[in-house]
Chains A and B, each alone.
Chain A
Amino acid sequence: MSFVTVEDIFQTYHNRPILERVNITVNEGEFIAIVGASGCGKSTFLRLLLAQERPTRGEVRIADAPPATEPGLDRGVVFQKYSVFPHMTVRENIVAGESLRSGWGRFFGEQARAARERAEDTLRRIGLDHVAENYPATLSGGMQQRLAIGQALTAKPRVLLLDEPFGALDPGTRLSMHDFLQDLRTETGMTVFMVTHDLEEAFKLGDRVLVFDKPRWDPHDPSRYGATITYDFDARDGGIPYQKLKEDTHVLRANG
């Protein structure tokens, strides 16, 4: 039973094909890492999942809902930068995850107090409670990305999309962000798509690693053909497949 269905997607900008014939189904709770060379349509694919753009052909469905026409509450996103609101303090950013959907974009009275309290829990969880009153510009890159992820999760999306979220972080911070993300994932069981340049990161975090590449290449006109998913690796168990018995044999049952 598939949760996210991508069906025969083509994306073309000004007659220049970027993606062609992309098909994939993803189960609920899977962590999909997406890798590929620059300009191979990874980010385009993520924008299509986000419904920030609509495909030239084909459709993306989440939980069998009709294809979305604009970004909405069911898809959360974290970009490499500009992912938090610079004019709100850290706490306000978290509260905004809940309040932006209301009519005035903010909570009043009792509701505001309750949201602030919930935000306090989230901030403790992502380790930012000591800087709740600060503006994001005063935080380090890793803290800003933690805040961005915390804010996205506050809205409780069905799918979380990460566009090179750790691309601008130093290696040490990146490792601690991996732990942070893995913890969050075991907690929430969320479906995640992550675009990354780092193969090691992709295989470490992902259940599946998708590789985007151009299957056809015209040496006289490199932009003639678009990219598609050329590999779909099983990245569980350290990227070594066939580590688990999928067969339900009577021998095992007899011994068990």
Chain B
Amino acid sequence: MRLINLKPGRPLALFLVLLPFVAVWVVYAIASDIRLAANPSDKLLPAPSKIGETMLRLTTEGDRRSGRILFWHDTWASLKRLGLGIGISASLGLIFGLLIGLLPIVRSFLAQFVAVLSMIPPLALLPILFIVFGLGELSKVVLIVVGTLPFIIRDLSQRTLEIPQELLVKAQTLGASSWVIAIRVALPQVMPRLSQAGRLSLGPAWLFLIAAEAIASDLGLGYRIFLVRRFLAMDVILTYVIWITILAFTIDWLLRWTSRRFFPWAEEGL
């Protein structure tokens, strides 16, 4: 039998899904054990049990100075920046994507400009953003917007252009104006794509968020990681990395679930 026709059964599939996770865990545990056996005060690979203790301490005990549980404050600050950034990007991207995709005049006017803009490395703009918008919340949100908006615009305008010409003609023969075609035909058809573009943009958005927080901030997940790096506090860093991964995965899953729930007709495209 050819390899391409070999499909795993359910138990085997589950085993294969779990295998890499377990493998990473085992490799880490062994490596940590070897290092700790040689030097019990080693900080590079803290024992899994140590990480567990740190997790518990970070999520339940308040800061010695302020009494606040910094872990949750960090999470809230970061999620707020991320949500604002992605939200603004998605809204603007949807509007400009539809305009560029539907109106030939706007397409001639903006499509090439957006294509050029999307080539600018957003992190290279970070110093400019800090200078213009200061070191506060605004510059971090703007960085996420600058970093993800061109991609969303290009993706959505492309998707709008891919709407079969037949549907647009049909809508016109039913008397629809350009506005009605935009909100009743094009908008619903690109909404599933918007949630997909949002999911794809989350990776870069986290990257820009953590980069901005690492450089100038006093709260946030990225800020904390880069702060405790000075003390080689691997247990704290690993806790935060695991937490960020869980957050990113959950947001991705939620977006997928929402688009399945609200756009059932686009099932195969999701």
Interface residues of A (CB under 8 A from B): 50, 52, 70-73, 75-77, 79, 81-87, 96-97, 100-106, 135-137, 151-152, 155, 157
Contact = CB atoms under 8 A, between A and B. Distances in A.
Contacts of B263: 87
B265 interface: yes
A84 B185 CA distance: 11
A100 B176 contact: yes
A153 to B, nearest CB: 11
Interface residues of B, number: 24
The residue in A73, A81, A82 that gathers the most chain B C-beta atoms within 10 A of its C-beta is A82
Interface of B: 164, 166-167, 169-177, 179-180, 183-185, 188-189, 263-267
Contacts of A105: 176, 179-180, 183-184
Nearest to B263: A87
Contacts of B266: 86-87
A82 B264 CA distance: 18
29 contacts: A71-B172, A71-B173, A72-B173, A73-B174, A76-B173, A77-B173, A79-B170, A82-B170, A85-B167, A85-B171, A86-B189, A86-B265, A87-B266, A96-B174, A96-B184, A97-B174, A100-B171, A100-B180, A101-B174, A101-B175, A102-B180, A103-B177, A135-B265, A136-B265, A137-B265, A137-B267, A151-B174, A155-B173, A155-B174
Nearest to B168: A71
A135 B180 CA distance: 21
A115 to B, nearest CB: 13
Nearest to A155: B174
B169 A77 contact: yes
B184 A71 contact: no
Contacts of B177: 103
DSSP majority for the B interface? helix
Contacts of A72: 172-173, 175
Given A86-B266, A100-B176, 7 more contacts: A52-B169, A81-B164, A82-B170, A87-B263, A101-B176, A106-B184, A155-B174
Nearest to B167: A82
Contact of B173 (A85, A136, A152): A152
B239 to A, nearest CB: 44
Contacts of B189: 86-87
Contact of B185 (A73, A75, A85, A152): A85
The residue in A52, A70, A77, A87 that gathers the most chain B C-beta atoms within 10 A of its C-beta is A87
B175 A73 contact: yes
B187 to A, nearest CB: 9
Contact of B265 (A73, A76, A87, A106): A87
Contact of B169 (A50, A102, A137): A50
A83 B166 contact: yes
A81 B166 contact: yes
B192 to A, nearest CB: 9
The residue in B164, B166, B177, B266 that gathers the most chain A C-beta atoms within 10 A of its C-beta is B166
A72 B172 CA distance: 6
Nearest to B171: A100
A242 B266 CA distance: 54
B106 to A, nearest CB: 18
Contact of A155 (B169, B175, B185, B267): B175
CB-CB nearest 7 A-B residue pairs: A101-B175, A105-B180, A105-B184, A82-B164, A82-B166, A71-B172, A100-B176
Contacts of A87: 188-189, 263, 265-266
A135 B263 CA distance: 11
B184 A157 contact: no
Nearest to A84: B170
A104 B183 contact: yes
Contacts of A77: 169-170, 173
Contacts of B166: 79, 81-83
